[in-house]
Amino acid sequence: MASLFEQDIQTLKGVGEKRAKLFHKLGVFSVGALLRYYPRSYEDWSQPFTIEQAPFGTPCAIRAVVLHQPVETRIRKGMTLYKTSVTDGMRDLHLTFFNNPYILNALSEGKEYIFYGKVTGTLLRKEMSVPEFYPIASAPSICPVYRQTEGLSSRMISNAVKNALALLPDQIKDPLPHDIRMQYQLCELGYALEQIHFPDRMESMEIAKKRLVFEELFTLQLGLLQLKYRKKQDTSLPPFIDYSKEFFHLLPFHPTNAQKRAIAEAMGDMTSTQNRSPMSRLVQGDVGSGKTAVAAALCYSVIKNGVQAALMAPTEILAQQHYTSISNMLKNTGISIGLLTGSVTPAKKRKLIEQLQNGSIQLVIGTHALISDAVAFQNLGLVITDEQHRFGVAQRSLLAEKGNHPHMLVMSATPIPRTLALIIYGDLDISILDELPPGRQKIETYAISSRKRPRALQYIRTHLDEGKQAYIICPLVEESTNDMASVEQYAAALQTETFPDKVIGTLHGKMKPKEKDAVMTAFANGEIDVLVSTTVVEVGVDVPNAVIILIENAERYGLSQLHQLRGRVGRGNMKSTCILVSDAQNEEAIARLKILCSTSDGFRIADEDLRLRGPGDFFGEKQHGLPDLKIANMAEDMEVLKEAQSAARYILANDPKLALPEHRGLKGQVKLLFSVFGGQGFH
């Protein structure tokens, strides 16, 4: 027999075929799903105002007696008004309803009700339009508000939930194990469901919410961790010896503590004699935090252990830059390094592949040319991918497949709050470079209105005249996929009106990778003075001579993205400037730009971004890869997420497949949450 939770929504009293269809629109098919259809917000009906004291314009509750039966007026075809007045003994309030004949019988003269709505009108004549109401005896203290759909109001949903709750037995099976509930002080499921929908007090709603948020994140973590464990297969590589200390002596600088820590964590994965699964680690570090040196240290160390290493970058120019700087770091070590990109001649390429096969090249740096079929290694031990957000998981693993379960390191320059990273990169361990090398100059950042643009351009001119370069990030075109027009127009105007004597280059999303690479290279070589671009401008490319970036319509971007863009300058030791142009008037937008002016800490900015705009920006398209959460909010529930994660680890340590009978409920929850993937792997 199907349990109550699995029963069709239509089995509920008051839900017929037609209404069931409306529930389906909201994604609610079963009674269980209805009980998990949590309110969006609550109305506090428990402390009604007097009419005199009720605030204007914000929804509130008022307790009052109906003065006369509602009066019906047909004002035109299809529009009937119902009017009545109510009083609290001191003052009157005028109510209006539209097209709702039910009002005629629902409100009776002389009876007392609680009305909930917005007070409008004037101080002398207060009004309320279409209030919600309940007779005083049956008025809720706190009223749930549900996301509704046409034909299915919040009130109807609330009634259906009430019916469903009434069917719940006293003792319902709780998927959360008892000891987990005790340890994290979480209430029982039955209480939680009741109080999340119809709280006695706001405090009890909070208690219910805490449990439900925990349960959801716990389920999410159980699923993600299961995926992660499943993926790991033992490597045939021997435990390595750590030679990274030796490498440090080759550097012209002292590694930062953060670099040392990240290297030690990665080496820990590769030297372990206990854990034989290959490393899969993400190194996250702000622009300029020195990820290249981390990569080089690891390459050096594994190559000393007799295996090969490969580093893949998303573009030719990035591969080229890595090749140059890593060759430089490793120049006196005897390690042979190859560069493999699309523009290498076929003859050279053949030779290179041969050398990779016979092991005479120990480190290869390249673009996705590295994953072409022809490429094979003698003994690939470490795979590093840079700026991974451009490579899908699939591409990463294609390169890894060229070895026998090699170690894998992913480098990302997008600071993401740690807790979010744990979710997005559920399959990777994480090291964070949260420290910049000493002596880095802060990029001076200013927010200006467009009135001051001429002055900003003048400022750019003085720098161009000294032989420096600048980036300009062009305005976004509303609703337009044609960023080319916007860039070309802007550049043309700049050329004729402002910088007739300078070379202006353009970069936009319509260009082929090769064309973009060519422009970037020309800019890096100093052949272009001002690069007008959309946000496609290359992440991670070093143009030390570019010292100013001007960003139009700055308010349109997320803080993290602005921070990324700002990181295009300040790559050398010259003072650099970022100018944010915005005519935004609203306080939030202004506050956001101020944050950027006041800090250069990418992780702090990411945290603020998360707080102000929610996690959407970070998840981007990846969000589709994760199940939808009903109640937990990544931005607000970080603490709970951490708890849920350690609880999930604890459970899986003893029962990796959730096979124990007492974990049956959990297993079901995981399957349900991950049903977007067809519950794949969770059967």
| Site for Mg ion, rule CB under 5 A | 540
Could you say which of Mg ion, ligand ADP, none residue 417 binds, taking C-beta under 5 to 8 angstroms by partner kind?
A: none
Contact 570/600 with Cβ under 8 angstroms? no
Q: What is the closest distance, in whole angstroms, from the C-beta atom of residue 409 to ligand ADP in the complex?
A: 13
Among 288, 381, 417, 668, binds ligand ADP (CB under 6 A): 288
The reply to whether 263 sits near ligand ADP by the rule CB under 6 A is no
| Subset of residues 214 to 253 that bind ligand ADP, contact rule: CB under 6 A | 253
Looking at the Cβ atoms of 397 and 561, the one nearer to ligand ADP is 561
Handedness of CA 558, 561, 563, 565 (dihedral sign): negative
d(CA 72, CA 61) in angstroms, rounded, equals 24
Q: What is the closest distance, in whole angstroms, from the C-beta atom of residue 245 to ligand ADP in the complex?
A: 15
Tell which residue, 313, 337, 341, 309, has the closest CA to residue 324. Answer: 337
Could you say which of Mg ion, ligand ADP, none residue 290 binds, taking C-beta under 5 to 8 angstroms by partner kind?
A: ligand ADP
Looking at the Cβ atoms of 443 and 635, the one nearer to ligand ADP is 443
Q: What is the closest distance, in whole angstroms, from the C-beta atom of residue 287 to Mg ion in the complex?
A: 7
What spatial distance separates the first Cα and last Cα of the chain, rounded to whole Å?
20
Looking at the Cβ atoms of 311 and 380, the one nearer to Mg ion is 311
- Could you count the other beta carbons within 10 Å of the beta carbon of residue 657? 12
Count of residues of this chain found to bind ligand ADP when the rule CB under 6 A is applied: 16
| 188, 192, 195, 198: CA torsion to nearest 10 | -130
Q: What is the closest distance, in whole angstroms, from the C-beta atom of residue 386 to ligand ADP in the complex?
A: 8
Could you say which of Mg ion, ligand ADP, none residue 117 binds, taking C-beta under 5 to 8 angstroms by partner kind?
A: none
Q: What is the closest distance, in whole angstroms, from the C-beta atom of residue 292 to Mg ion in the complex?
A: 5
d(CA 447, CA 428) in angstroms, rounded, equals 37
d(CA 603, CA 590) in angstroms, rounded, equals 20
Contact 194/165 with Cβ under 8 angstroms? yes
The reply to whether 541 sits near ligand ADP by the rule CB under 6 A is no
d(CA 27, CA 6) in angstroms, rounded, equals 14
Distance from chain centroid for Cα 8: 34
Among 255, 406, 505, 602, binds ligand ADP (CB under 6 A): 255
* Helix then strand then coil, % of the chain, to nearest 5: 45, 20, 40
Q: Enter the tokens of residue 580.
A: 């944010």
Contact 250/207 with Cβ under 8 angstroms? no
Could you say which of ligand ADP, Mg ion, none residue 289 binds, taking C-beta under 5 to 8 angstroms by partner kind?
A: ligand ADP
Site string for ligand ADP, 407-436 (x = CB under 6 A): ------x-----------------------
Distance from chain centroid for Cα 39: 23
- Could you count the other beta carbons within 10 Å of the beta carbon of residue 137? 8
* Coil, helix or strand at residue 387: coil
209 Cβ contact list (under 8 Å, min separation 6): 196, 631
Looking at the Cβ atoms of 13 and 254, the one nearer to ligand ADP is 254
Looking at the Cβ atoms of 254 and 442, the one nearer to ligand ADP is 254
Could you say which of Mg ion, ligand ADP, none residue 255 binds, taking C-beta under 5 to 8 angstroms by partner kind?
A: ligand ADP
Among 290, 406, 602, 615, binds ligand ADP (CB under 6 A): 290
d(CA 334, CA 419) in angstroms, rounded, equals 41
The reply to whether 296 sits near ligand ADP by the rule CB under 6 A is no
Site string for ligand ADP, 479-518 (x = CB under 6 A): ----------------------------------------
- Could you count the other beta carbons within 10 Å of the beta carbon of residue 21? 13
Looking at the Cβ atoms of 318 and 474, the one nearer to Mg ion is 318
Stretch in the footprint of ligand ADP (CB under 6 A) among 60-68, 233-241, 282-290, 622-630: 282-290
Could you say which of Mg ion, ligand ADP, none residue 362 binds, taking C-beta under 5 to 8 angstroms by partner kind?
A: none
In the complex, the residues that contact ligand ADP under the rule CB under 6 A are 253-256, 259, 285, 287-293, 413, 437, 540
